[in-house]
Each structure stands twice: as C-alpha cells, then as structure tokens.
Copies of this chain bind each other. A is one copy, B any other.
Amino acid sequence: MNGEAEFLAGYDATAYPAVAVTVDVVALTIRDGRLCVLLVERAEHPFAGHRALPGGFVRADEGPDAAARRELAEETGLTPGEGQLERVHLEQLKTYGDPGRDPRLRVFSVAYLAFAPSLPDPSAGGDAAGAYWMPVDEAAALAFDHDVILSDGLERARAKLEYTPLATAFAGDEFTISELRAIYAAVWGEDLHAGNFHRKVLSVPGFVEGTGQTSTRGGERGGPKPKLYRAGDARLLHPALLRPTREDGVR
C-alpha cells in the first residue's frame, strides 16, 4: 500500500482523533560546577505540583526548531537578537509519541536538547514563577515521560562531548582549559586528569584557539594565571575525547 500517499489523499481531518504536537526542551547548563536542567513547576492537572521539562505547542506558522527556541526564550527570559539566545546550542533529540503518554489526548512531543552558558535565574525574567535550574542528579519524578526524555538527553549530551566541541557552548566567550575541564567533569560525572586533558585539548585541531590573553587572577586557592582561549572552528573533534571508565563493549 502506498501508505502516506493513499492515506493523505483521502484524509478528512474530522474523521480522525485529535492529535497535538508539542516540543519539550532538555536545557542544560553548568551552575556551581554541577550540571543542571531547566524545569518548570506544573500548576494544572494532570501532574499538578510536579516538575516538568519546559515545552509547549508547536504553532501553525513555525517549525519544531523555531518552537523549541521560542519556548526556551520564554522560560529563560532571554530575548532574541541580543546574541545570548542565539549562542545557545539547540538540537533535536527524539520524538515521543506512545499512546497514553498524555492522559488527555494523543500528544507527540518532539524533544530538544539545549546547551547554555550560565544564565540568570529564570524567575527573574518572564512570567515563569515556577521555573528554575536543578542539578540533574536531583531531577526525578518528572511529569509525563519526562524522566525518560531527560535520561535520553543526558546520554546524548555526554556522547556529544566526546566527538564535538560543544562543551564550549557551556562556557563564556573566553575560557581557560581548567574551566573547560570542569565542564567535561560536570557532564560526565567524573574527574579528568588535568595534565593529560590540557595536552589533549590543545592537540585537537580547531577545538580551541588562544586569545593571547591571560586571566587576571589565578585560581581561588592559588596557582599561576592561566591562558585564555575561545572556541575554534572545528565542528568535529578528531581525534575524539573519549570518556574514561566506560565498561568495554557494553554487552
């Protein structure tokens, strides 16, 4: 059968149950050295009082990418055009559409993954009274299937840090190698050897480029003033930075 073709040729919108399409965003940032996710507090049933990923309906005149960026802007209080929101890395994660995942009607949710540099508390901007950043290891019992979505997003984020330079999306314009290492440590949940990490990062072509500048201060507990770097022009890391303690082969 010519599935889609045949179906749509005879499609009558009123003959089928209503379907809604939303976007949900797994927005990650680093705060105080911990990996945090943006959550909202639900006011309405179902799951009233539960935490959930920020999200909303895809409007008729926008694609899902635009909807995700709009939702992220609404929840974080960032406004388009100032460069901040544009610097947030946003990519599609996966679509969740099992029957019953929303008790009210059939909802397909296109989930997105966002990497943001440290942002002000979302309650400051917008009307998101119940929005905040929460460490990912404390984020549980989320509404709907958002626990699964968050888990999938974290795994994707951890994998992406291996073979892309996206860790720099968590940092400011200029950063030190130590700050970059802290990002990897927060996302992967394990410490990395400082010396080997330093040499490795500088050896990957296009990962970072030096600014020629040096930080005005050393570390909080001593140490020399580190050099400053900015993101390079590589889109893939080669060779990749592989996670350490991944059990071989995953049988």
Contacts and interface: CB of A to CB of B under 8 A. Distances in A.
A61 interface: yes
What secondary structure prevails in chain A residues at the interface with B? loop
A130 B41 CA distance: 51
Contacts of A24: 4
A71 B127 contact: no
A142 B206 CA distance: 36
A87 to B, nearest CB: 19
B20 A11 contact: yes
A17 B60 contact: yes
A22 interface: yes
B52 A5 contact: yes
A55 interface: yes
Contacts of A98: 63-64
A60 B99 contact: yes
Interface in A1-57: 1-9, 11, 13, 16-22, 24, 40-45, 47, 52, 54-57
Contacts of A16: 20, 60
Nearest to A91: B94
A3 B54 contact: yes
Contacts of A54: 3-4
